[in-house]
Amino acid sequence: MVAAAASSQETTQIQTEEIEALSAIYGDEWCTIDEDEKIFYIKISDCSAQLKWTLNLQVILPPEHPTSAPPIYQLNAPLILQKEYAELANHLEEIYVQNLGESILYLWVEKIREVLIEKSQSSESVGPDNKKITEETDVDYEEEFALEYQPLVDCTAIMLNFDMSEKKR
């Protein structure tokens, strides 16, 4: 029981040091949502002047993090495609597996930033020859679909006489 308590104290100390380091590195970008529940948030950007790509990362540090459990995280990036989101989640999982038992939040934030920078640069590097352009063109559909007004043919309405009253037996 003493070993478990020491382990818990060590884990708490490691978490505290990790959070202090992230606060020092990222300043106002790193936010504490709930200190007791160990819920944190950071808005990560591509560092470009126009800030084209941003992603919000929310993490919850379980009591076992980092010794035997990864952070629980949620990514919020509306402009990122589902496929890209899945790839990013795979990158974060790889980082965790490669660094078992270690603090990984800094590595996660920087990996996310790296992905956003790559997206920003790839969207900037598309030249005029490669851009997808929507162009309006005039098409004369009248020749193809000669839809002229034609009056409706008089249809004689056929009325069906249903006796809705109870049938006598």
Residue 17 maps to which CATH number? 3.10.110.10
- What is the tens place of the pLDDT at every residue in 68-116? 899 999 999 877 888 988 999 999 999 999 999 999 999 999 999 999 9
Among 9, 27, 44, residue whose Cα is nearest residue 119: 44
Tell me which residue range forms the domain holding 18: 9-121
Tell me the three state secondary structure of residue 43: strand
More confident call, 8 vs 1: 8
Query: How many percent of the chain have pLDDT more than 70?
Result: 67
Which phi and psi angles does 117 have, rounded to 5°?
-65, -45
Q: Angle at the Cα of 32 (from 28 to 35), degrees rounded to 5?
A: 150
**pLDDT value at position 7?**
77
Residue 168, domain member (yes or no): no
**pLDDT value at position 4?**
47
CB 107 within 8 A of CB 99: yes
Q: Is a pLDDT exceeding 80 seen at residue 51? A: no
**pLDDT value at position 81?**
84
- Record the pTM: 0.67
Please give the structure tokens belonging to residue 84: 């890209």
Partners of 32 in the β-ladder = 40
Among 101, 132, 135, 109, residue whose Cα is nearest residue 54: 109
Q: Is a pLDDT exceeding 50 seen at residue 158? A: no
What is the rounded (10 degree) CA torsion for 121, 122, 127, 131?
-130
* 8-state DSSP, 32: E
Q: Is a pLDDT exceeding 90 seen at residue 53? A: no
Q: Is a pLDDT exceeding 70 seen at residue 146? A: no
Residue 139, domain member (yes or no): no
CB 66 within 8 A of CB 102: yes
Count of domains forming the chain: 1
Query: How many percent of the chain have pLDDT more than 90?
Result: 44
**pLDDT value at position 160?**
43
**Residue in this structure with the two tokens 């589902």, named with its chain if needed:** 82
Q: Angle at the Cα of 46 (from 40 to 48), degrees rounded to 5?
A: 135
**pLDDT value at position 131?**
42
Residue 30, domain member (yes or no): yes
